[in-house]
Amino acid sequence: MNPINTNGSDSADVIIVGGGIIGCLTAYYLTQRGIKPIVVEADAIASGASGTSAGWLTPSSHMDDPGLSALSDTTYRLHEELAETLPALTGIDHGYWISSYVRCAMTEGGVALLRDFQTRRGSDGAAMEWLSGEEVRRVNPWITAEVFGGVFSDREPNVDSYRLTMSALQAAEMAGVRVISGRVSGILSSSSDVASGVRLEDGTEVHADNVVLTMGPWAGEAAAWLDRPIPIRPQRGQLVYLAPPEDGEGPGLEVGMTAIEGGSSMIQKRLTDTVVGATSEFVGFDRSITTSARDELLLSASKLSSRVETARISGQTACLRPVSGDDRPYIGPIPGWEGVYMASGHGGHGIHYGPVTAAAITGLIADGASEYDISALDPARAVGPAT
Ligand SMILES: Cc1cc2nc3c(=O)[nH]c(=O)nc-3n(C[C@H](O)[C@H](O)[C@H](O)COP(=O)(O)OP(=O)(O)OC[C@H]3O[C@@H](n4cnc5c(N)ncnc54)[C@H](O)[C@@H]3O)c2cc1C
């Protein structure tokens, strides 16, 4: 690690490239350690997937991956803390709430899958209750007769990820963080492979001894700056929003729901309409919405809830997940470089893993080590050696 610049001059201690959830939470956690980074953002804060995700925090994610499952619990706890601290600091309610959810089985095969899921998720202390088809419809009468049964959980938190990202940045700005508008186009180095800042597209140079790359699906651009392969690619995800009931019409969900066999998920939000998602499409950096995706999502959701067909569509969004080579994020120092860190490639779980990622990077910069075990996520497994 390069020493932190604490001379109080205009130069930053750390530059964070990208103002999505990972960059803004990293900025916030760094300020908790007395470090004041600059955030450089090419577009608008939270203009990427962080501003338009479903915001579901997935305690059951990565149960089969020991490198990530321990961090899943930690990040869940950090989200609980942020739900207390950030609104108190900034006055922004980021919509954290613990909702109920039914994972439904639509086939006999799905029942077996769900039973297995229930055992494994139950073993980590989560309350998971098996319900027959009839019982599921007592929880929510709109669940269709096509649903064989389901596993009910009353501990499925979600957030408004746009508000969370904005709130983290606001808290960071209150502690002295600055935001620069511009697209980073290269890393500056004081000597071979020692970072000294970044260069922007318009030629501006911003100096700091530590640079954190939190560019989401655009992180692959840094391969040319670092002379290292960075296998991150964009995956488009589309969501449809359904308005709450009006005169008895609408989705009227008492619980969120998904089919264990795949297809749409319906997620209840506290501050916005019900979210139906999501597609997974490899179409480069195209962020257009499509009618075919809307129809496909609603058709699949209508197999879960009979109210979808009469629901009023209140919105549709498309954004890009940052997908890594092995579906795990890259979190840690870039091999062969001094003072360059990567925190990108979270795929469909960046909101969930945002806090632990940001806290780990903060530990690496402030203390030279992360208090959380991120060894399985070391960028060295894919990023390097020189191309
Ligand atoms: C449809 C959909 C639903 C999702 N639902 C969930 C969910 O329920 N739960 C969950 O945990 N995750 C979910 N995700 C995933 C989550 O949204 C992402 O993993 C997360 O937002 C990634 O955050 P990020 O900060 O890495 O990237 P981004 O949010 O993409 O931010 C990167 C930022 O970097 C900026 N940037 C890029 N290049 C440069 C440059 N050269 N110079 C300066 N700035 C630059 C961009 O403009 C952007 O603002 C979902 C994703 C999608 C698409």
pLDDT at residue 96, rounded to an integer? 97
Ligand 1 lined by 40 (C-beta under 6 Å):
yes
According to DSSP, the residues that pair with 178 across neighbouring strands are: 38
pLDDT at residue 158, rounded to an integer? 94
For residue 299, how far is its CA from the centre of ligand 1 (angstroms)?
27
- Dmax (CA) of the chain: 69
Distance CA 323, CA 314 (A): 28
Ligand 1 lined by 219 (C-beta under 6 Å):
no
Report helix angle 161-174 to 66-90, nearest 10. Answer: 60
Ligand 1 lined by 240 (C-beta under 6 Å):
no
pLDDT at residue 249, rounded to an integer? 56
Ligand 1 lined by 21 (C-beta under 6 Å):
yes
The preferred substitution site among 21, 53, 57, 342 for testing ligand 1, maximizing ligand atoms within 8 Å of CB, is 53
pLDDT at residue 124, rounded to an integer? 58
pLDDT at residue 4, rounded to an integer? 42
Q: Whose Cα sits closest to atom 33 in ligand 1?
A: 18
Say how many C-beta atoms besides its own lie within 10 A of residue 384's C-beta. 17
- Contacts for 196 with CB less than 8 Å, ≥ 6 apart: 188, 189, 190, 207, 208, 209, 339
- Cβ pair 239, 294 in contact under 8 A: no
**CA 239 to ligand 1: nearest atom:** 1
Ligand 1 lined by 184 (C-beta under 6 Å):
yes
For residue 54, how far is its CA from the centre of ligand 1 (angstroms)?
12
pLDDT at residue 67, rounded to an integer? 86
Chunked mean pLDDT (size 10), the chain, 387 residues: 40 92 98 97 98 90 82 93 98 94 91 85 71 90 90 90 98 97 95 92 95 98 94 97 71 76 90 94 98 96 89 95 96 96 97 98 97 96 73
The preferred substitution site among 71, 181, 215, 353 for testing ligand 1, maximizing ligand atoms within 8 Å of CB, is 215
- Cβ pair 66, 374 in contact under 8 A: no
Q: Whose Cα sits closest to atom 37 in ligand 1?
A: 215
The preferred substitution site among 25, 346, 352, 353 for testing ligand 1, maximizing ligand atoms within 8 Å of CB, is 346
What residue ranges define each of the domains in the chain, with the CATH number in brackets?
Answer: 14-55+162-231+326-381 (3.50.50.60), 97-158+234-324 (3.30.9.10)
pTM of the model: 0.95
For residue 235, how far is its CA from the centre of ligand 1 (angstroms)?
11
Ligand 1 lined by 26 (C-beta under 6 Å):
no
Distance CA 294, CA 212 (A): 36
Distance CA 339, CA 356 (A): 20
- Helix, strand, or coil here: 140? coil
Q: Whose Cα sits closest to atom 21 in ligand 1?
A: 50
pLDDT at residue 126, rounded to an integer? 64
Q: Whose Cα sits closest to atom 1 in ligand 1?
A: 237
